[in-house]
């Protein structure tokens, strides 16, 4: 069967190319995220975060959702950074809001969306919906008073204990800068390899899906006000594109797909895709990961379909 061997070889070539494309695109951002995580671990202490983040869960979620302006990371880098911040004592509601919003609500992605679509409903809709969904999901997570039921043990905040006479966080003697930077790099490298496993697995899975379920199958489906949203949400998950460049991919769909579906693609894609789902599993328990997928998914679908059927965007 020489024909099928040829076809298989072609598909293997496609699979390898797609996987390398995803990995090469995402790895630098994961590295940036782990570097940021190392910086947070070494240069921030728990008191700094306590001062910056409100105690009110909703307020914490709001602050978490805009923290991407300070930590401009995409969906690959945001996972290790969120884990580090939560371990440093960031409230879970803020952590979840940051996890979901930061891949969109950061200067790089805002600039790329502006460049692709200009100032208009897509840019404002993407920012507004990302914030709304992230804050809403974060607020839901604020109702869980037991983080250990949501997080894996390695992601839980450190526990202070012992004498009540001692402060919660003991001021450590300040190490030389070079030594602290060395520690940042050590943490970043360790975390890169730890989270990198999930990136590789997610990339493999996404490449597999793209190879055997080509985009044309999805794009060939009718682009009605409801179906178009479902199609582009599925495509966002399937393509697993970094949020820094996804606006330009969405621009290619702008002529044929509805505004609501473009927004769902641009909002849900950075929150959840195949590789980030795998990375979530390194931080959260499986049930939590399911919630982190379902809540933004339904909110994105609702927003996209509502926009298509009720607005003239």
Partner 1 sequence: MRFDRFDYLVWSVLAALTLAIGGVILAGDRVGARVAQALPAGGEIGAYGPLGLQFAQTMRAETVETRFEIDPPVPGAFSWEADQLWFTPAQPLQPGVTYTVRLQPGALARDGRESKQTWTGQYRVRAPWVVYMASVSGPREVWRVPATGGSPEQLTFTEGRVYDFAVAPDGEQIVYSVVNPQNGADLWLMGRAGENPRQLLNCGADLCTVPAWAPTAGRIAYSREPAGLTPGSPNGPPRVWTVDPLSGQTAPLYQDSQILGYGPVWSPDGRRLAFFDGSSSSIRMLDVTTSREMLVKTLMGTVGAWAPDGQRLVYNDMNLETGRPYVTLAVADFDAQTLTPLLGQEPNWADYSVPAWSPDGAWLALGLRAATSGPTKQIWLMRPDGSEARAVTDDALYTFGGYRWDPWGTALVLQRFEMNKPYATPEVLVWTAATNTLLPLVPDGSTPEWLP
Our finding on whether 294 is near partner 1 (CB under 8 A) is: yes
Distance (Å, whole) CA 129 – CA 94 = 17
Our finding on whether 244 is near partner 1 (CB under 8 A) is: no
**Between residues 192 and 284, which has the closer beta carbon with respect to partner 1?**
284
CA 124 to chain centre: 19
The set of residues, in sequence order, having a beta carbon less than 8 Å from that of 141 and lying 6+ positions away, is: 92, 93, 96, 150, 291
Least Å distance, CB 155 to partner 1, is 17
Our finding on whether 224 is near partner 1 (CB under 8 A) is: yes
Q: How far is CA 17 from CA 8, 27, 192, in A?
A: 14, 15, 22
**Between residues 35 and 129, which has the closer beta carbon with respect to partner 1?**
129
Distance (Å, whole) CA 65 – CA 103 = 10
Segment lying near partner 1 (by CB under 8 A), choices 40-48, 79-87, 118-126, 219-227: 219-227
Our finding on whether 287 is near partner 1 (CB under 8 A) is: yes
Asked if residues 54 and 60 have their Cβ atoms less than 8 Å apart, the reply is: yes
Which tokens is 135 given? 């804050």
Segment lying near partner 1 (by CB under 8 A), choices 80-88, 95-103, 204-212, 218-226: 218-226
Our finding on whether 252 is near partner 1 (CB under 8 A) is: no
CA 18 to chain centre: 20
Residue count, binding to partner 1 (CB under 8 A): 31
**Residue window 148-187: x/- pattern of binding to partner 1, with contact defined by CB under 8 A:** -x--------------------------------------
Distance (Å, whole) CA 4 – CA 64 = 51
Q: What is the dihedral of CA 178, 181, 187, 192, to 10 degrees?
A: -120
Give the residue, chosen from 114, 140, 201, 245, that forms a contact with partner 1 under the rule CB under 8 A.
140
- Binding residues (CB under 8 A) for partner 1: these are 140-141, 143-144, 146, 149, 222-228, 255-256, 258, 287, 291, 294-295, 298-299, 301-302, 305-306, 308-312
């Amino acid at each position: 069967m020489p024909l099928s061997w040829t076809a298989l070889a072609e598909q293997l070539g496609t699979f390898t190319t797609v996987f390398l494309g995803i990995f090469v695109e995402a790895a630098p951002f994961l590295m940036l995220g782990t570097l940021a995580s190392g910086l947070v671990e070494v240069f921030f202490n728990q008191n700094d975060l306590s001062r910056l983040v409100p105690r009110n869960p909703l307020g914490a979620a709001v602050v978490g959702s805009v923290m991407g302006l300070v930590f401009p990371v995409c969906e690959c880098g945001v996972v290790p950074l969120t884990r580090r911040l939560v371990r440093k004592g960031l409230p879970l509601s803020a952590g979840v809001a940051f996890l979901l919003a930061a891949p969109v609500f950061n200067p790089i992605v805002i600039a790329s969306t502006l460049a692709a679509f200009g100032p208009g409903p897509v840019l404002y809709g993407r920012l507004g919906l990302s914030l709304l969904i992230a804050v809403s999901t974060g607020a839901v997570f604020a109702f869980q008073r037991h983080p250990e039921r949501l997080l894996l043990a390695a992601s839980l905040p450190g526990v202070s204990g012992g004498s009540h006479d001692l402060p919660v966080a003991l001021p450590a003697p300040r190490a030389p800068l070079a030594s602290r930077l060395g520690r940042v790099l050590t943490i970043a490298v360790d975390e890169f390899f730890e989270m990198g496993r999930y990136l590789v697995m997610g990339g493999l899975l996404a490449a597999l899906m793209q190879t055997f379920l080509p985009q044309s199958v999805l794009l060939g489906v009718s682009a009605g006000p409801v179906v178009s949203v479902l199609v582009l949400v599925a495509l966002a998950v399937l393509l697993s594109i970094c949020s820094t460049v996804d606006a330009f991919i969405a621009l290619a769909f702008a002529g044929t797909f509805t505004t609501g579906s473009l927004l769902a693609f641009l909002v849900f894609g950075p929150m959840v895709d195949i590789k980030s789902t795998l990375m979530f599993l390194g931080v959260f328990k499986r049930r939590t990961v399911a919630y982190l997928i379902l809540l933004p998914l339904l909110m994105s679908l609702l927003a996209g379909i509502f926009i298509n059927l009720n607005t003239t965007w």
